[in-house]
Structure 1
């Protein structure tokens, strides 16, 4: 399982690029296609991939739905996306999901926050009472908005022991809003956190894959997602067979 903020295929190799290459975040310039191909090669090694900042087909991506493109290039039979934000009419951002397993249900929700444009996407696998549930989210920069967003997600996942929440949380695991999430759900804090940001000199663990108490995760690792400013985060997940039936 992999979670990756792909920065819409843009390249950031240092803080100076946020200014020097800012045009690439709103215009169809830079070698985004090569970046996506590199991300596809990484994604192909996994069964389920959650994406953040995947452009759903705006000017900056050359009107390419990047989630669909990655699904095709990496050989995934199933894909879903949730467009969230539009920036100045030229750029869009979405959550995405790539899967080798067919989901029985995919549901999207808008998240609360001071600035609109954040969302969470839920995919369920299996038809039993407590199927495997995968949630992909990209949370806000502000703590008060994150608190409201994680409260909303906690209501969705509630007492589910087979839930997985992955994404770019924009906060470390020890913040008050994360503590509130753990108190209200059966998601477990990881035994150790892996720094993922910034990708060129990782210092902060702000990308997470959290799993419910009925699941076991191991081999947590970070790896480059082409030239994104975040490293991708992977885990091996042990899922009870009955969850997928």
Structure 2
């Protein structure tokens, strides 16, 4: 993170890490389905690779991090990544737990100390989705960073985005990152742009599938007053999503 003339540049990363599992082609969803329920496979090695990438950033949002179930060897993957990558602050939001065999969580890693962290269940036809929010700096002008993993269905996404828009409507300096499961110009995204200060991304960066990225469904959305730089996709070990990195310029007063 760098500081010049009252502006601090923060390095952001959003990554769907698929609980450390490996998917390199569509057929792996079937042939390697066991890796989503069993601790076998080189998940620890994948996490170490992701930690090396995460460690080059200031704030990291994670999706599909296992909170400590059978498939991860009962390892809280957000905590593991925080320790391996040298982050002092971390939070996680378990959203789904299938009989302790496979769990899924949103996670947040930060080099800045948040003044408040909250999590919220998202509406949807099937439960198990959430948004994790952290606030940095006091007062209304503080920076708010939210991490979310939205549903596959458009109707559920519409309800989820309306819920998130209500949460962020009074936050002028906000970032929303995560796996949206949709392109940024989908009709359900309009409620977010209309009721918050978040803007559509200037450039669509394809992130899915990781082995032949064609769809921009992972996003880092930023409020109008926060300048963005260098949006780019990075491999998240062997996840089926590429990670998305971006630098943003934040007024120092928003972090005090």
> What SS does the aligned partner of 2:238 have?
coil
- 2: CA distance, partners of 1:129 / 1:8: 35
- Structure 1 gaps of 5+ residues are none
Q: TM-score, normalised by structure 1?
A: 0.99
* Cross-structure match for 1:127: 138
* Cross-structure match for 1:155: 166
* Cross-structure match for 1:80: 91
Range 96-105 or range 151-160, more displaced:
151-160
Equivalent pair of 1:128/1:244 in contact (CA under 8 Å):
no
Alpha-carbon deviations, 1:73-132, whole Å to 9, x = none? 000000000000112441000000000000000000000000000000000001132200
Correspondences of 1:167-186 after superposition (within 5 Å): 167-186=178-197
* Cross-structure match for 2:29: 18
* Cross-structure match for 2:8: none
- 2: CA distance, partners of 1:135 / 1:167: 8
- 2: CA distance, partners of 1:168 / 1:112: 16
Correspondences of 1:148-227 after superposition (within 5 Å): 148-227=159-238
- 1: CA distance, partners of 2:253 / 2:141: 9
- 2: CA distance, partners of 1:53 / 1:45: 20
- 1: CA distance, partners of 2:102 / 2:140: 40
1:138 aligns with 2:149: yes
Q: TM-score, normalised by structure 2?
A: 0.95
Range 169-178 or range 79-88, more displaced:
79-88
- 2: CA distance, partners of 1:26 / 1:150: 30
- 1: CA distance, partners of 2:123 / 2:151: 10
- 2: CA distance, partners of 1:14 / 1:181: 33
State the 1:213 CA deviation: 1.2
Equivalent pair of 1:161/1:215 in contact (CA under 8 Å):
no
The partner residue of 1:92 within 73, 85, 103 is 103
- 2: CA distance, partners of 1:138 / 1:54: 11
Query: What root-mean-square deviation, in Å, do the aligned CA atoms of Structure 1 and Structure 2 show?
Result: 0.7
* Cross-structure match for 1:59: 70
1:43 aligns with 2:59: no
State the 1:179 CA deviation: 1.5
